[in-house]
Amino acid sequence: MKKYFFLLFWAMLSAFPACRQKWESSQELSVYSTRINLADVYEKDFTLTVFSNQDWTAGVTQGQEWLSVMENGGSSMGFVHVHADANLESSVRVGKITLRAVSGKETVVNIVQSGENEKAADLPDELL
């Protein structure tokens, strides 16, 4: 009986690195959501959580006049703190934060901020 228990235990230990290695080779760069709706027009600070198995960078690629990032990169799991200025316009506005992994993979996060007369949630994804 001890022999079978030992063999089962050894098989589980042997399989674990293979599972971890498979995940690391397939998982490169992701965030919880690629669309953030800022439902009010006021100045706002928020944090994006980035999951990666390699080094990555972050930058504002649209909306630099009202959107900024405090950190511009990291390795593996990390955070990007974002600041959005108040939207004093009547219409909704869109900014983009692009995350780039060293492998070349990119993920774009759309930041949609409500205006005085339009709500961010009303903007369809196809207009981003």
Of 111, 116, 117, 125, the residue nearest 38 (C-alpha): 111
Torsion angle of the four alpha carbons 65, 69, 70, 71, in this order, in degrees rounded to the nearest 10: -140
Please, what is the Cα angle at 107 between 64 and 93, to 5 degrees?
A: 35
Cα atoms in the 13 Å half-sphere on the side-chain side of 88: 3
Give Dmax over CA atoms of the chain in angstroms: 75
C-alpha 106/C-alpha 55 separation (Å) is 12
Distance separating alpha carbons of residues 89 and 114, to the nearest angstrom: 9
Give pTM, 2 decimals: 0.76
In this structure, the number of other CB atoms found within 10 A of the CB of residue 77 comes to 10
- pLDDT tens-digit series, residues 47-75: 999 999 999 999 999 999 999 999 888 88
What tokens does 65 get? Answer: 């006049």
The tens digit of pLDDT for each residue in 92-115 reads: 999 999 999 998 999 999 999 999
- Name the amino acid, one letter, at 85: D
Q: How many CB atoms lie within 10 A of CB 123?
A: 20
Q: The domain 28-122: what is its CATH number? A: 2.60.40.10
Tell me, what's the pLDDT at 23? 46
Give the pLDDT band of residue 12 (cuts 50, 70, 90). Answer: low
